[in-house]
Amino acid sequence: MINLAIIPARSGSKSFKNKNIKKINKKTLIEIAYQTAKNSKIFTDIIVSTDSIKYANILKKKKIFINSLRSKKFAKDNTTDLQLLNYEIKKYEIQHKKKINYISLLQPTSPLRTKKDLIKCFKLISNKKLDAVWTISKIDKKFNPIKVLVIKNHKLKYFSKLGPTFVSRQQLHESYIRNGIAYFFSREAIMNYKKILPFNSSYIKINRKIVNIDSKKDFDIAKKIYIKKVLNLY
């Protein structure tokens, strides 16, 4: 069985410049993602997908080698996860002459993942023969999509068509958000069905505090949690 971990590390972040190489405990976020994947012992190969020579040189010093930089065509602001996965799978299979079974997308901006999270996801997708497994976190009912509002043309509107029907919290279903800890896919999901959330998909709930880093504030919070708690989970 060939299992591939892909760590996406594009260099063009505008909200928090070079966030993928910010350091916690002297390790870049890319290194943290790489080491967690390696510690899980479930991946045949782990690749860092980056368009940056700077990133590649930093990683080389840590003995994390990049075979080739990501094409600029797939390193744009509007490049989707599906496009990136399709590109990296094709490149890997051509280079290695091997057909992949399962793929995991591990974003460096979620440093609070543990090897246990990855093992749980892999066991679920492989044992149940699923096409996708995402890690998710429950949303407080006060943020349920039915209660969410948007502003369009300076007018306040409901986000959901069900918004006008809202009466009480009792009618709200539990809702969840993808938390970025891990995404697992079968090869068929990406290459044949061309979906990251196909019909045959499931989930792993994460109940602890999770931070996705999009700003300096996010980074500072994640750093504190990582140092105080996550190191004790490995």
DSSP 62-99: TT---SSPPPGGGSSTT--HHHHHHHHHHHHHHHH---
**pLDDT for 230:** 60
CATH number for the domain formed by residue range(s) 3-136+178-233: 3.90.550.10
pLDDT at residue number 13:
77
Note whether 113 and 106 are within 8 A (CB): yes
pLDDT at position 15, please? 82
Q: What tens digit of pLDDT does each residue of 107-131 get? A: 999 999 999 999 999 999 999 999 9
Supply the mean pLDDT for the chain: 94
The rounded distance, in Å, linking the Cα atoms of 104 and 37 is 9
Mean pLDDT for 129-148 is: 94
Cα 199 to Cα 4, 109, 195, distances in angstroms: 22, 27, 9
Q: Residue 150, class by beta-carbon neighbours within 10 Å (0-12 exposed, 13-18 middle, 19+ buried)?
A: exposed
Give the whole-angstrom CA distance, residue 13 versus residue 16.
6
User: What is the C-alpha to C-alpha distance for residues 217 and 124, in angstroms, rounded to an integer?
Assistant: 34
CA dihedral 37, 32, 138, 224 (to 10 degrees): 150
Q: Give residue 233's pLDDT.
A: 56
Q: How far from chain centre, in Å, is Cα 137? A: 13
22-49 burial, b at 16+ Cβ within 10 Å, e below that, comes to: bebeebbbbbbbbbbbeebebbeebbbb
pLDDT of residue 231: 60
pLDDT of residue 109: 96
Region 27-31 average pLDDT: 97
pLDDT at 88 over 60: yes
Greatest pairwise CA separation for the chain in angstroms: 58
* For the chain, percent of residues with pLDDT exceeding 70: 98
pLDDT in tens, 53-83: 999 999 999 999 898 899 989 999 899 999 9
Q: Write out pLDDT tens, residues 171-202.
A: 788 999 999 999 999 999 999 999 999 999 99
Q: Where are the domains of the chain?
A: 3-136+178-233
- Residue 12 contacts residue 50 (beta carbons within 8 Å): no
Tell me if 41 sits within 8 A of 50, measured CB to CB. no
With 0.85 as the threshold, say if the pTM is over it.
yes
